């Protein structure tokens, strides 16, 4: 039975057509994954269902949206909210209460749920999402991943018919992502919940999807079984790339499928680990401890970042990655310990000077953007960094090509905004670059480009530290991986060892072929060698 039906949906901003002739039917109890390149209109498609588009975005919508057979296209988002639950890309922006418990109860209060029911559902949800110990916490003090879990919990409590999620796992660590998706899938199967979910990390979501809605560059949407769409989709997870490369039929969608098919591969020569040359240390941190209130977020961390090296910082949600990054940059709290960048402590420098020592791209990229247009931001970055005109724009065009320079940064898609923030920070060419979860909102091509930019920066002698939950990205860029747990370094070393030895951090190719394999490109090279 169809729950949501989109009929002939079109949407445009002036001359920019985002969606065109979209027909889409969502059945009861199915999970549909919305995929497509950065900025093609995935969030817009979700917004048409929640009603946020066009009400809060402007632009012109045509066509009809039906919920259980009745048109809701004229209905304001607030009136559909109890039936169509929505979690956006920036959970903090959607919060209305102060504490976790209040936030979980808020939606139910709005629809007049009985107090006993409310209490029961709050407890259930705290457990379901593993956030019971955070119940009394102020929402603003939660880590990015903790906020994302609360946001998902707060829409589940109202028991909506339809759940619309925009990149719900982008801030979650690999295990949390798996848990949250498994929880949602259970509701889909057991309660007939209908889920529409946009996500760039297909490796996380494809195994849970009943169908994929692929938004193409021309604004049309193709909906089909995952295997059919992935066979020639411009975005595909590493498993599918591996399957395409080895010409496996049917394409593997799970690690288990792929392992079975991998038995047919010829014997391949595994990649040779290249020992890293020792280089000069640019940033040295010793005994760094960060305390928030009574919570010790980072404990006695020693870390050295060297010229030409890319260090990837990983660890569960709340393990202290952001706290450490801000302490290294100098504007974050530091309870004790020392940080030295080429003889200076960044914490004692003025902000303008600090930027030329340490560049930081924060988890919420929008925090760096304050001007009226993309062109203004880029021009200011060039001037501020005494870089040639067009430097920032050049970097932006590599990461996310073709953005209209007159657009307000607020109107960029999430991935486009991140690309802009990165370009601004990179323009100042600091010797140390800190990136907090830099792949949110980027598609595979965007990530590959980011990986090339990071490699170029390292080749120029910069030291790069990036925190990420994206194991596939880490496998591509890391010279070294450092894992934090409860604020302490618990493991560090080359990615081939650290990623491969951990069940939660192993990339898909490692799971299929075993160590030392990390990425599809290595398999491609080995197959190529056999053919020669
Ligand atoms: N006010 C506006 N005027 C013109 N174009 C706009 C405006 N607001 C958004 N856009 C453009 O509409 C397109 C669709 O944006 P949307 O957020 O739906 O993309 P997305 O596929 O969700 O991207 P991402 O993967 O980065 O989240 C983008 O190219 C964006 O730049
Ligand atoms: N003001 C605060 N008061 C109390 N605890 C805080 C405060 N700020 C942060 N914390 C806690 O410190 C811990 C570390 O947070 P941090 O943001 O550094 O983690 P993270 O590893 O970056 O997490 P994520 O992967 O989810 O982004 C978390 O448990 C967080 O809840």
Beta-bridge partners for 164 = 86, 196
* Residue identifier of the C-alpha nearest atom 31 of ligand 2: 142
| Torsion, Cα of 242, 247, 248, 250 (10° steps) | 110
- The CATH number given to 281-493 is 3.40.50.300
Q: Are 292 and 333 in contact (CB under 8 A)?
A: yes
pLDDT band at 90 (very low <50, low <70, confident <90, very high): confident
Cβ neighbourhood burial of 231 (10 Å; 0-12, 13-18, 19+): middle
Question: Which pLDDT band holds residue 12 (cuts at 50, 70, 90)?
Answer: very high
Position 415 pLDDT exceeds 80: no
Q: What is the pLDDT of residue 501?
A: 86
Region 246-256 average pLDDT: 93
Decide if pLDDT at 9 tops 90: yes
Distance CA 256, CA 390 (A): 48
Residues with CB under 6 A from ligand 1: 13, 16, 18, 36, 38-44, 58, 407, 411-416, 441
Tokens of 450: 């980011």
Answer yes or no: is pLDDT of 507 > 90: yes
State the pTM of this model.
0.91
**Ligand 2 atom having least distance to the Cα of 173:** 25
Give the nearest ligand 1 atom to 58 CA: 1
Looking from the CA of residue 198, the nearest atom of ligand 1 is 22
**pLDDT on residue 15:** 87
State the pLDDT at residue 349: 94
Ligand 2 atom at minimal distance to the Cα of residue 315: 21
Distance 366 CA to ligand 2 centre (A): 19
Average pLDDT rounded to a whole number, residues 221-229: 96
The residue whose two tokens read 């980011």 is 450
The interface pTM score, or ipTM, of the predicted complex is 0.90
| DSSP string of 310-364, one letter each residue | EEEEE-STTSSHHHHHHHHHSSS--SEEEEEETTB-GGGS-HHHHHHHEEEE-SS
DSSP 8-state code for residue 304 = E
The span from the CA of 275 to the CA of 480, in Å, is 11
Q: Is the CB of 319 under 6 A from ligand 2?
A: yes
pLDDT of residue 194: 97
Q: Which ligand is nearest to the CA of 487?
A: 2
Residue with CA nearest ligand 1 atom 20: 39
Question: Hey, which of 17, 22, 43 would you mutate to test ligand 1's pocket, going by the most ligand atoms within 8 Å of its Cβ?
Answer: 43
The residue nearest atom 31 of ligand 1, judged by CA position, is 412
Question: Which SS3 state, helix, strand or coil, does residue 383 take?
Answer: helix
Confidence band, pLDDT 50/70/90 cuts, at residue 421: very high
Q: Mean pLDDT lowest for which of 145-159, 408-422, 489-503?
A: 408-422
Distance 295 CA to ligand 2 centre (A): 9
Nearest protein CA to atom 4 of ligand 1, as residue: 13
pLDDT at residue 13, as a whole number = 93
Supply 336's token pair: 């004790």
Let me know: does 330 contact 300? Beta carbons within 8 Å. Answer: no
Does ligand 2 have an atom closer than 6 angstroms to the CB of 89? Answer: no
Read off the pLDDT band of 1 (50, 70, 90): confident
Determine whether the shortest distance from the Cβ of 85 to ligand 2 is under 6 A: no
Quote the mean pLDDT of the chain. 93
Length reported for the chain: 532
We find that the CATH architecture of domain 2-235 is 3-Layer(aba) Sandwich (3.40)
Mean pLDDT to the nearest integer, 481-497: 96
DSSP type of residue 278:
P
Domain locations in the chain as residue ranges: 2-235, 237-273+495-532, 281-493
pLDDT tens column, 322-381: 999 999 999 999 999 999 999 999 999 998 889 889 999 988 888 889 999 999 999 999
Give the contacts of 28 (CB within 8 A, at least 6 positions apart): 1, 2, 3, 192, 194
């Amino acid at each position: 039975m169809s729950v949501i039906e989109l009929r002939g949906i079109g949407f445009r901003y002036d001359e920019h057509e985002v969606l065109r002739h979209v027909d889409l039917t969502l059945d009861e109890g199915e999970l549909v994954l919305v995929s497509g390149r950065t900025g093609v209109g995935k969030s817009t498609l979700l917004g048409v269902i929640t009603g946020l588009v066009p009400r809060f975005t402007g632009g012109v919508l045509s066509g009809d949206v039906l919920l259980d057979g009745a048109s809701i296209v004229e209905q304001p988002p607030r009136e559909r909210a109890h039936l169509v639950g929505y979690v956006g890309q920036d959970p903090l922006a959607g919060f209305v209460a102060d504490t976790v418990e209040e936030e979980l109860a808020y939606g139910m209060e709005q629809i007049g749920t009985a107090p006993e029911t409310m209490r029961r559902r709050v407890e259930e949800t705290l457990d379901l999402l593993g956030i019971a110990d955070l119940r009394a916490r102020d929402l603003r003090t939660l880590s990015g991943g903790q906020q994302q879990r609360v946001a998902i919990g707060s829409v589940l409590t109202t028991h909506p018919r339809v759940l619309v999620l925009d990149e719900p796992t982008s801030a979650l660590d690999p295990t949390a992502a798996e848990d949250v998706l498994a929880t949602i899938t259970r509701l889909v199967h057991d309660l007939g919940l209908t889920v529409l979910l946009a996500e760039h990390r297909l490796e996380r979501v494809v195994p849970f999807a009943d169908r994929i809605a692929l938004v193409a560059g021309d604004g049309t949407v193709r909906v089909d079984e995952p295997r059919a769409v992935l066979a020639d989709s411009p975005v595909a997870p590493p498993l599918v790339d591996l399957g395409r490369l080895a010409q496996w039929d049917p394409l593997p969608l799970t690690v288990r499928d792929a392992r079975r098919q991998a038995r047919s591969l010829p014997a391949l020569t595994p990649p040779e680990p290249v020992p890293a040359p020792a280089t000069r240390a640019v940033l040295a941190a010793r005994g760094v401890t960060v305390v928030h209130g009574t919570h010790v977020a980072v404990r006695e961390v020693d870390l050295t970042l060297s010229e030409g090296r890319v260090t990837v910082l990983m660890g569960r949600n709340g393990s202290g990655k952001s706290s450490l990054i801000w302490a290294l940059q100098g504007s974050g709290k530091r309870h004790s310990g020392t940080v030295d960048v080429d003889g200076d402590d960044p914490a004692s420098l003025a902000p303008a000077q600090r930027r030329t020592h340490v560049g930081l791209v924060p988890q919420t990229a929008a925090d760096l953007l304050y001007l009226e247009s993309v062109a203004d931001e880029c021009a200011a970055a060039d001037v501020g960094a005494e870089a040639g005109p067009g430097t920032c724009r050049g970097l932006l065009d590599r990461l996310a090509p073709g953005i209209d320079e007159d657009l307000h940064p607020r109107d960029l898609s999430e991935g486009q905004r991140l690309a802009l923030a990165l370009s601004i920070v990179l323009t100042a060419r600091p010797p140390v670059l800190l990136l907090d979860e830099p792949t949110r909102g980027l598609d595979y091509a965007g990530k590959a480009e980011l990986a090339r930019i990071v490699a170029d920066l390292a080749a120029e002698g910069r030291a790069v530290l990036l925190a990420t939950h994206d194991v596939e990205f880490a496998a591509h860029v890391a010279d070294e991986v450092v894992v934090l747990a409860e604020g302490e370094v618990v493991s560090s070393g080359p990615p081939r060892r650290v990623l491969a030895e951990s069940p939660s951090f192993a990339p898909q190719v490692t799971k299929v072929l075993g160590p030392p394999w990390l990425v599809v490109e290595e398999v491609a090279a080995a197959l190529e060698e056999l053919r020669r």
